[in-house]
């Protein structure tokens, strides 16, 4: 699975430009899988259930944060805006990659007050162009942060772990899942980072009876960080609440019961800021009981998002167990 995570995380896919990720996922699908791509670009894979099950949607988003070029100046430097939640702190000296493979270095103006975190308009990108006429990049082009996948002890680190790790988990579950009573829809969504946009429309199209997002969450286990009762290596985080959703209690209990029965250690997650695709699916059509299985992640929205590989395997095991049996969500 690590090689799959490597190729997924190193793939190019800022929100609105998920084509390469979608193509990669299609190549990894089990043979003969029933797929369609909807009007927004969501990839929907359907697996018919044996009988007596529910229509369950699992969502992981294909897009990642990045930047969009807003101006090419007289010297050929690029100004840019954010695609999704981009933090200023990790930018300086970093590199970005455009769809056509061009690399850019992120630079920072001289600051009047170096004690304050600069806003994005103080940064620029240098693609090595001597002037605007030679600049190979146009206004509106998007780029992702450029960073290789690496193994660090028991952890793995990459850009776009948010949420390619969810995509990898969905693919793994599809491969490993034996007989299931449920009609399953594995949905690889677009435009999550700019406002859970693809999940709302695919949720409308799939019309599930139960929905689960598989996405990353933050942790509270690093030096002097904001308190949060989630740690790397302590297992899957079962969402209770985040800033966009209260998980359906029946769905949450189903996941907690499944983890307990399988002897899979897990954590109860309350995320103060941030949300997932589940928040949009939950309010699609007449409403959908929704929950989320999260992968604890350090340094989210930086080019080095870190997860524990044991946690990743445990999320796969949890989902395999949950989907193999009939579901009671009360």
Residues that bind another protein (CB under 8 A): 15-16, 38-40, 42, 68-71, 73-75, 79, 81-83, 121, 139-140, 191, 194, 197-198, 200-202, 204-205
To another protein, the closest distance from the beta carbon of 131 in angstroms equals 12
Q: Which residues contact 32 (CB under 8 A, 6 or more apart)?
A: none
- Of 201 and 258, nearer to another protein (C-beta) is 201
Which is the catalytic residue, given 18, 172, 192, 269? Answer: 192
Q: Which residues contact 108 (CB under 8 A, 6 or more apart)?
A: 91, 92, 118, 122, 123, 124
To another protein, the closest distance from the beta carbon of 1 in angstroms equals 31
Biggest alpha carbon–alpha carbon distance for the chain = 67
To another protein, the closest distance from the beta carbon of 195 in angstroms equals 8
Distance between CA atoms of residues 220 and 198, nearest Å? 29
To another protein, the closest distance from the beta carbon of 283 in angstroms equals 11
CA distances to 128, 245, 252 from 241, rounded to whole Å, are 46, 6, 10
Active site residue 112: no
Structure tokens at 267: 């954590």
Nearest to 329 by CA among 229, 253, 234, 233: 253
Distance between CA atoms of residues 76 and 41, nearest Å? 33
The β-bridge relationship of strands 290-296 and 103-108 is unpaired
Structure tokens at 284: 């699609």
Distance between CA atoms of residues 281 and 202, nearest Å? 8
To another protein, the closest distance from the beta carbon of 68 in angstroms equals 5
Distance between CA atoms of residues 205 and 123, nearest Å? 40
To another protein, the closest distance from the beta carbon of 38 in angstroms equals 6
- Of 75 and 257, nearer to another protein (C-beta) is 75
Distance between CA atoms of residues 159 and 301, nearest Å? 8
Catalytic residues: 192
């Amino acid at each position: 699975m690590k090689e799959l995570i490597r190729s997924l995380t190193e793939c190019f896919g800022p929100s609105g430009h998920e084509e390469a990720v979608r193509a990669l996922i299609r190549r990894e699908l089990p043979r003969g899988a029933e797929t369609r791509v909807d009007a927004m670009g969501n990839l929907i894979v359907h697996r018919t259930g044996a009988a007596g099950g529910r229509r369950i949607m699992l969502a992981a988003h294909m897009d990642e944060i990045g930047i969009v070029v807003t101006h090419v100046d007289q010297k050929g430097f690029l100004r840019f805006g954010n695609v999704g939640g981009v933090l200023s702190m990790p930018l300086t000296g970093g590199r970005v990659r455009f769809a056509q493979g061009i690399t850019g270095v992120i630079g920072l103006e001289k600051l009047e007050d170096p004690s304050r975190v600069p806003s994005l308009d103080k940064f620029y990108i240098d693609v090595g162009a001597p002037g605007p006429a030679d600049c190979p990049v146009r206004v509106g082009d998007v780029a992702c942060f450029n960073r290789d996948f690496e193994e660090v002890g028991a952890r793995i680190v990459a850009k776009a772990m948010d949420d390619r790790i969810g995509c990898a988990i969905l693919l793994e579950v599809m491969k490993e899942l034996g007989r299931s009573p449920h009609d399953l829809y594995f949905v690889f969504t677009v435009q999550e980072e700019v406002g859970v946009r693809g999940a709302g429309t695919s949720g409308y199209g799939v019309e599930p009876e139960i929905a689960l997002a598989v996405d990353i969450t933050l942790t509270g286990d690093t030096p002097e960080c904001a308190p949060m009762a989630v740690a790397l290596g302590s297992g899957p985080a079962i969402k209770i609440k985040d800033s966009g959703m209260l998980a359906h209690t029946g769905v949450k209990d189903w996941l907690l019961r499944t983890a307990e029965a399988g002897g899979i250690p897990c954590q109860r997650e309350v995320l103060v800021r941030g949300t997932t695709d589940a928040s949009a699916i939950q309010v699609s059509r007449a409403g959908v009981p929704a929950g989320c299985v999260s992968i604890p992640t350090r340094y989210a929205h930086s080019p080095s998002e870190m997860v524990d590989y044991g946690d990743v395997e445990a999320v796969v095991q949890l989902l395999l167990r949950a989907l193999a049996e009939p579901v009671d969500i009360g």
